[in-house]
Amino acid sequence: MFRNYFKTAWRNLLKNKAYSGINVFGLAAGMAVALLIGLWVYYQYSYDKFLPDHHRLYRVQRNFNSNGDTLTFQTSSLRLADELKKGFPDIEAVAESDWMGWHGLMVGETKIYQNGGITGADFLLMFGFPLLKGNAATVLKDPYSIVLSQSTAKALFGDADPMNKMVRIDNQHDLKVTGILKDLPSNSNFNFKYIIPFAYKEAISPRGRLDHENFNNNSHQIFVKLKPGATYEQLAPKIRKITHIENSPNAQRSYVTLQALDRWHLYSKYVNGKDTEGFLEYVRIFTWIGVLVLLIACINFVNLTTARSEKRAKEVGVRKAIGSERKQLIIQFLAESFLLIMVAFCISLIGVQLVLPAFNTLTGTKMSIPYGSPVFWGMMLALVVITTLVAGSRPAFYLSAFQPVKVLKGSLGKGRSQSPFRRVLVVVQFSCSVALIISTIVIYRQINYAKDRPSGYDLARVVEMDMNTDLKRNFAAFKNEAIQQGLAASVSSASSPSTNVYWHADVDEWQGKRADETIEMGIIVTTPDYFNTLGMQLKEGRSFKHENDSVSVLLNEAAVAAMRLKDPVNQQINWQGGEYIVAGVVKDALMISPFTSADPTMFLIDNKPGSSAMLRIPAGVSTSDAISGLTTLFNKYSPAFPFTYKFADETYAAKFKLEMLIGKLAAIFAALAIFISCLGLFGLAAYIAEQRTKEIGIRKVLGASVSQLILLLTKDFLLLVMVSCVIASPLALYFLQSWLSKYSYRIDIGVMVFIWAALIAMIIALVVISFQAIKAAMMNPVKSLKSE
């Protein structure tokens, strides 16, 4: 019986090639979008799930009470790590860490620059990172040991066995390779290429031991692993006030919390000390987009199938007359839908495989279709079955309900009873499509609005380098020679790069301070040419005179506003036991985020170079010539390190990466939604034109013009699109206002956005419908009426 159902379904599919093709490719496009978004969503949810005990791993965080506002910090003190190692039976292991950034590794003549970290001895064991060589329990026991990733070992040693061989770090110390770590997947919160034991940091410290005495030096990340069966809810009240054993303002205002590893990637936004959302917002948005695009494709199927119902009416009437039950007809029509949807699924699978490399490049992911996973095929079967039920149920129940007496007498209407239902579905389709068009326009407007916002400094032609030990030692000579050779107009260094602020600290004492008031302020330690190099403008007062101007500080406008200083120049500030005089005020620069206000920031001077070097290429020198000359100069003063650099303006532009990605994805999926909607509209228009062929012929004979006939065939469809625009606009406005609310610097959604979206939808729909309308209107009436 089922064989006959599928045989009949295949014949009907071949009999109506045009409409079957529209249905198949519409559904294939919808299923491809759903599958692609599904893979992307799974990729985001699977961050660090490769770790065996990911559900028991946590990061220690601090909630800090700053004048009534709760600020959350992911760095903690070594004393806190020591306290957590004592007397908490729910905790199985604790590991401190310091993510040291990019450092030079050298083996013989091979020099590479890699990102790594310093961690406690139990780090690899408690996280369960896969080691290809070495024992996780012992690889970090020796202070002068190093664990390399698989790719780093390959870069340094080639095909030779690296175990127990020496690697020189920062041209200072030789470390023995004690383990090889399997390269981490791209969907991991960790991206280190090597690990060094925390004991190494203490071994090379001038004091011999780092600060374990107080809770104020919050410059490390602490990780804990709970014992099996233990929960954070049990542990939370026990650790909340650990820091209160110390009588200092910072310790008394801090509360210890933990964030589960499973939440790091998706829950990065904190409100009042709680991780509420973050990237999860975008995951949910695109999940809904995938569902909507698939729904649009299903609506195409329903509309085209029910619109052509009278073509199958006699077949249904005859089958019922000879004894077929309605449930048999329902099964047959569902079987037809299932077959068609299976064909669409196979096409969608091929399509996803073809576009996946480009999609990975666009999104910066490394996704693949897991053909070998039974779970994947189970989910795909569920997708096909659900799509069959959503798309096939209405046609199956509608067609099987025909009464044989009316059908065989020829008294069945020409689908008029279904016309309102089809109109509702068309409105739903285009409402979704128009909402996506509006969203795409608003996202791109917000991105461009932020890009056009004055950044407060000039990063064009600014080159930045991470400082290394050799360059620090020879920085003065490097600077002078770069300027003398015409490779740089100015050279400076700082404790943070130009597009970030690495260090924040509390400022507790200034004139006009209220009781119990403190300000969390960005701290940047610079050299005298810093503001000139970055093109930052002085608003009032003076800049630093020289490298020994150590009692002077400069504030940005945000810091002056936060401290409520009316005449900031020459005001005194007490900070970390020292007294400083405000020498000047610089205009705000958007160092952290172009979408928010500038952070309050204080600039200090130091005669020692910081962790970042920056220089401005002179206006008359080509960038390529400058880089070539700087490479030679760098190798002269820092021969043990490879010359790596970044252009500051490119780093700043990368801050728009997430929003640009969201904008591109929204544009792509909006275009696909419109395409699928228009595919259905094209088929529906073709069917309506075919249904009204004789009517059009009669109207032409009676004198109707081509333009009148085109208007006759298009006006109903255009009216539906207009209704869709009216419905989509307030819905899109509601969700987009919610999305924009997270940006302090944002656009106002004007009425023109909705007008442009409506015009785009109307023009696209008109082009699609007009093809069939013009074709029908231009037909010779003799051909359409010759059978009468």
pLDDT, tens only, 224-270? 999 999 999 999 999 888 877 766 666 777 889 999 999 999 998 88
Phi, psi of 88 (to 5 degrees): -120, 95
> 41-50, 169-178, 384-393: which has the minimum mean pLDDT?
384-393
pLDDT for the residue 720: 86
What number is the average pLDDT over the span 521-531? 91
Residue 521 CA to residue 510 CA, distance in Å, equals: 13
Most confident by average pLDDT, 13-22, 154-163, 328-337: 154-163
289's tokens: 């987009």
CB atoms within 10 A of CB 532: 15
Beta strand pairing call for 552-556 and 578-586: parallel
Nearest to 31 by CA among 495, 375, 345: 345
Confidence tier at 416 by pLDDT (50, 70, 90): very low
User: Is the model more confident about 569 or about 245?
Assistant: 569
Cα torsion 630, 635, 637, 642: sign: positive
Confidence tier at 415 by pLDDT (50, 70, 90): very low
604's tokens: 């200090």
Contact 113, 641 (CB under 8 A): yes
Residue 222 CA to residue 442 CA, distance in Å, equals: 40
Per the DSSP assignment, residues forming a β-bridge with 601 are: 522
pLDDT for the residue 266: 92
Confidence tier at 508 by pLDDT (50, 70, 90): confident
Contact 679, 300 (CB under 8 A): yes
User: Which ranges in 514-656 belong to alpha helices (H)?
Assistant: 530-534, 557-563, 623-637, 648-653
The label of the residue with tokens 């000579």 reads 477
Residue 551 CA to residue 544 CA, distance in Å, equals: 10
Which residue type is seen at 373? Answer: S
Residue 504 CA to residue 522 CA, distance in Å, equals: 4
Residue 72 CA to residue 74 CA, distance in Å, equals: 7
> 129-138, 616-625, 675-684: which has the minimum mean pLDDT?
675-684
pLDDT for the residue 7: 67
pLDDT for the residue 726: 93
| Strand, helix or coil for residue 438 | helix
Residue 615 CA to residue 494 CA, distance in Å, equals: 11
Confidence tier at 418 by pLDDT (50, 70, 90): very low
Residue 393 CA to residue 391 CA, distance in Å, equals: 6
Confidence tier at 678 by pLDDT (50, 70, 90): confident
User: What does the chain come to in residues?
Assistant: 788
Per the DSSP assignment, residues forming a β-bridge with 540 are: 585
461: left (phi over 0), alpha (psi -120 to 50) or beta: left
Residue 27 CA to residue 388 CA, distance in Å, equals: 10
pLDDT, averaged across the chain: 85
> 162-171, 177-186, 660-669, 696-705: which has the minimum mean pLDDT?
696-705
H or E element in which residue 524 lies: strand 519-526
User: Looking at the predicted structure, is the pLDDT value of residue 413 above 80?
Assistant: no
Confidence tier at 134 by pLDDT (50, 70, 90): very high
Nearest to 608 by CA among 484, 480, 494, 465: 494
What number is the average pLDDT over the span 342-355? 92
Confidence tier at 124 by pLDDT (50, 70, 90): very high
The answer for residues whose C-beta is within 8 angstroms of residue 552's C-beta and 6 or more apart is: 544, 545, 580, 581, 582, 583, 605
Residue 423 CA to residue 567 CA, distance in Å, equals: 67
Beta strand pairing call for 612-616 and 166-169: unpaired
pLDDT for the residue 417: 41
H or E element in which residue 572 lies: strand 572-575
Question: If you ran DSSP here, which 8-state letter would residue 550 be given?
Answer: T
User: Is the model more confident about 588 or about 781?
Assistant: 588
Residue 62 CA to residue 217 CA, distance in Å, equals: 12
How far does CA 76 lie from the centroid of its chain? Answer: 27
Residue 173 CA to residue 55 CA, distance in Å, equals: 37
Residue 596 CA to residue 742 CA, distance in Å, equals: 9
Nearest to 656 by CA among 448, 462, 364: 448
- In Å, the largest CA–CA distance within the chain is 105
How far does CA 176 lie from the centroid of its chain? Answer: 38
Contact 370, 349 (CB under 8 A): no
What number is the average pLDDT over the span 362-374? 89
Beta strand pairing call for 601-605 and 519-526: parallel
Give the CA angle between residues 95, 97, 98 to the nearest 5°.
175
| Strand, helix or coil for residue 35 | helix
> 133-147, 196-210, 553-567, 641-655: which has the minimum mean pLDDT?
196-210
191's tokens: 């991206």
Helices 17-45, 280-307: crossing angle, 10 deg rounding? 170
CB atoms within 10 A of CB 17: 10
User: Looking at the predicted structure, is the pLDDT value of residue 23 above 90?
Assistant: no
SS (H, E, C) 378-407: HHHHHHHHHHHHHHHHHHHHHHCCCCHHHH
Confidence tier at 536 by pLDDT (50, 70, 90): very high
pLDDT for the residue 627: 95
The answer for residues whose C-beta is within 8 angstroms of residue 762's C-beta and 6 or more apart is: 718, 721, 722, 725
pLDDT for the residue 337: 78
637's tokens: 């003063």
Share of the chain above pLDDT 70, in %: 87
Confidence tier at 685 by pLDDT (50, 70, 90): confident
Distances (CA, A) of 57 to 48, 97, 121, 226, 258: 11, 14, 16, 7, 9
User: Looking at the predicted structure, is the pLDDT value of residue 729 above 80?
Assistant: yes
How far does CA 667 lie from the centroid of its chain? Answer: 15
User: Looking at the predicted structure, is the pLDDT value of residue 442 above 70?
Assistant: yes
Distances (CA, A) of 76 to 60, 65, 118, 220, 762: 7, 15, 15, 5, 57
User: Is the model more confident about 778 or about 610?
Assistant: 610
764's tokens: 């696209």
User: Looking at the predicted structure, is the pLDDT value of residue 123 above 70?
Assistant: yes
Beta strand pairing call for 173-181 and 145-149: parallel
Phi, psi of 176 (to 5 degrees): -90, 130
Share of the chain above pLDDT 90, in %: 41
Residue 437 CA to residue 427 CA, distance in Å, equals: 15
Burial of 722 (0-12, 13-18, 19+ CB in 10 A): middle
Contact 30, 296 (CB under 8 A): yes
Residue 637 CA to residue 474 CA, distance in Å, equals: 6
User: Looking at the predicted structure, is the pLDDT value of residue 406 above 70?
Assistant: no
The answer for residues whose C-beta is within 8 angstroms of residue 387's C-beta and 6 or more apart is: 27, 31, 294, 298, 341, 345
What number is the average pLDDT over the span 396-410? 62
